[in-house]
């Protein structure tokens, strides 16, 4: 009997110790301003990094955030070397792969022009036909937009290059993630020169992905909801261009 009790106690102690192992959360290392590394500084930076850091502190669990190339992020999740990865869209494919906690935030895909451009707004994609639209080569934005017969320039290899093309007058309009494009625009000190068109092309919630049936997903989501309800995340959003 004493041996049985000892075994039960040992199993419980091991389970408790495992519960306190640091959670490893991984994200894209090249997704400015959401998650990125700066120069030789190994400290993860970005809006998503700060949001996840705040939520994890709310859970009370020890944790570590690591930034990796995006393909390795998905690989670490598949191998279960990481507890969670961020951020993911809530598509049917992603929901079949993961338990998605959140949304952590929403991402807006918008059109941005120089203020001197005649385009002030748009109601349908036909309104964009007279203009040269810059977009990042290989990016998918929205099914209807991607298939529309528009005048496109796809020479940009990154959002930063796309912003440079707009400011140089090589295109009339650029399309992309609102926060990301404004981040690169403000880095160039050009915020006063541009206009964000009011109507977004698409608004897409972004989630933190856990393995299927991992109870830690609900633990993370509960902490996230508490912070959303008490307004604790707002100062983080306010530190980044919106």
Over residues 24-45, the pLDDT tens digits come to: 999 999 899 999 998 888 999 9
- Domains 2-106+205-238 and 107-202 equal at CATH topology level: yes
Q: CA of 168: how far to CAs of 92, 171, 188, 191, in Å?
A: 39, 8, 12, 14
pLDDT at 19 (0 to 100): 56
Length of the chain as a residue count: 242
Pairing between β-strand 30-31 and β-strand 35-38 as defined by DSSP bridges: antiparallel
Count Cβ atoms within 10 A of the Cβ of residue 7 and give its class: 0-12 exposed, 13-18 middle, 19 or more buried: exposed
Peptide bond between residue 160 and the one before it cis (omega within 30 degrees of 0):
no
The least confident of 87-91, 150-154, 159-163 is: 87-91
Confidence of residue 120 (pLDDT cuts 50, 70, 90): very high
| CB neighbourhood size of 200 (10 A) | 16
| CB neighbourhood size of 60 (10 A) | 9
What pTM does this model have? 0.80
Confidence of residue 4 (pLDDT cuts 50, 70, 90): very low
pLDDT at 2 (0 to 100): 43
The stretch 3-19 carries a mean pLDDT of 46
Domains of the chain, residue spans? 2-106+205-238, 107-202
pLDDT at 15 (0 to 100): 44
CATH number of this structure's domain 2-106+205-238, picked from the four choices 3.40.190.10, 3.30.1340.30, 3.20.20.70, 1.10.510.10? 3.40.190.10
Q: Which helix (H) or strand (E) holds 161?
A: helix 159-167
Pairing between β-strand 84-89 and β-strand 202-210 as defined by DSSP bridges: antiparallel
Question: CA angle, corner 64, sides to 49 and 182, nearest 5?
Answer: 10
107-202: in CATH 3.30.70.1520: no
């Amino acid at each position: 009997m004493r041996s049985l009790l000892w075994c039960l106690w040992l199993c419980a102690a091991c389970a408790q110790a495992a519960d306190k192992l640091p959670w490893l959360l991984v994200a894209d290392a090249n997704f400015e301003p959401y998650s990125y590394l700066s120069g030789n500084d190994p400290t993860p930076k970005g809006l998503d990094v700060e949001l996840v850091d705040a939520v994890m502190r709310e859970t009370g669990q020890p944790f570590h955030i690591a930034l990796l190339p995006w393909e390795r992020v998905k690989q670490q999740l598949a191998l279960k070397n990481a507890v969670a990865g961020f951020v993911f869209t809530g598509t049917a494919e992603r929901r079949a792969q993961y338990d998605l906690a959140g949304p952590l935030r929403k991402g807006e895909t918008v059109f941005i022009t120089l203020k001197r451009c005649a385009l002030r707004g748009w109601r349908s994609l036909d309104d964009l036909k007279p203009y040269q639209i810059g977009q990042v080569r290989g990016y998918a934005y929205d099914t209807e937009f991607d298939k529309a017969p528009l005048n496109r320039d796809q020479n940009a290899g990154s959002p930063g290059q796309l912003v440079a093309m707009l400011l140089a007058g090589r295109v009339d309009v650029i399309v992309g993630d609102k926060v990301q494009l404004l981040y690169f625009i403000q880095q160039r000190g050009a915020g006063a020169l541009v206009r964000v068109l009011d109507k977004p092309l698409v608004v897409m919630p972004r989630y933190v992905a856990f393995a299927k049936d991992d109870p830690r997903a609900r633990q993370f989501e509960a902490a996230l909801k508490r912070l959303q309800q008490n307004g604790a995340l707002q100062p983080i959003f306010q530190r980044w261009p919106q």
